[in-house]
Amino acid sequence: MKKAVVVFSGGQDSTTCLVKALKEFDEVHAITFDYGQRHRLEIEVAESLAKELGAAAHKVMDVTLLNELAISSLTRDDIPVSHELQDNGLPNSFVPGRNILFLTLAGIYAYQIGANTVITGVCETDFSGYPDCRDEFVKAMNNALVQGMDRDLTIATPLMWLNKAETWAMADHYGALDLVREKTLTCYNGLIGDGCGDCPSCDLRRAGLEDYLNNREAVMVDYIKKSEP
């Protein structure tokens, strides 16, 4: 039996990854992390979507210790989400160590349930400048988990080389365009669907959707080419 664990936030990217995984694996487990995030509604959204889509299990883990250490606009209500980069070249929505922690815990969970694949929706093509969304980082984490647990494990990143329009194409390809558009939560200000329209995450999501809807056939062709083995 092929089992996978999907790091699942209930947002556009992770929901698209979950939809895809459910088509490709015999058993799919979703894992969501409560780190005291600004947009806490995403936990409820993730629970609802995991149930609706038919995940075999959905684990919500309390990792609020991350909130104590990582100061970010996503962990502090009194820090507005900014469109400008900080002096270090990173957006103030970057949560240091977040994906290090998430992938480590997802890897441990995969070990316990006998899964050999952890799926995450990080992307290097259209991303917010986060260093822990890069392919180089994921490969390093993958190697560390394999070495540290002495077990075969693959961290799969289906969106790594897709732009946002192509991610919408993937959702459409798997018959989930409307679900992803209407029921996921990507907005940093916690609004489901199209969101607030004024945060960096909403900007990226909206631009990708407009590009896909205006160039549907061409974008779908590009997505399929990138997705072929």
Please check if 13 is assigned to a binding site.
yes
Please check if 10 is assigned to a binding site.
yes
Please check if 15 is assigned to a binding site.
yes
Please check if 148 is assigned to a binding site.
no
Whose tokens are 């732009």? That residue is 163
Candidates 62, 27, 33; CA nearest to 46 is 33
Please check if 199 is assigned to a binding site.
yes
Please check if 18 is assigned to a binding site.
yes
Exposure string (b/e) for 126-135, b if CB count within 10 Å is 16 or more?
bbbebebbbe
Please state, in angstroms and rounded to a whole number, the distance separating the CA atoms of residues 105 and 32: 10
Structure token digits, residue 207: 């631009």
Residues in a beta bridge with 31: 7, 59
Please check if 154 is assigned to a binding site.
no
Structure token digits, residue 34: 């409560």
Please check if 11 is assigned to a binding site.
yes
Please check if 12 is assigned to a binding site.
yes
Structure token digits, residue 179: 């679900």
Give me the half-sphere count of Cα atoms (radius 13 Å) on the Cβ side of residue 58.
Answer: 20
Please check if 196 is assigned to a binding site.
yes
Please check if 202 is assigned to a binding site.
yes
Candidates 157, 88, 91; CA nearest to 120 is 157
Phi, psi (deg, nearest 5) at residue 194: -70, -10
Residue list for the binding site for Zn(2+): 187, 196, 199, 202
**Residue ranges at the known binding site:** 8-18, 187, 196, 199, 202
Binding-site residue set for ATP = 8-18
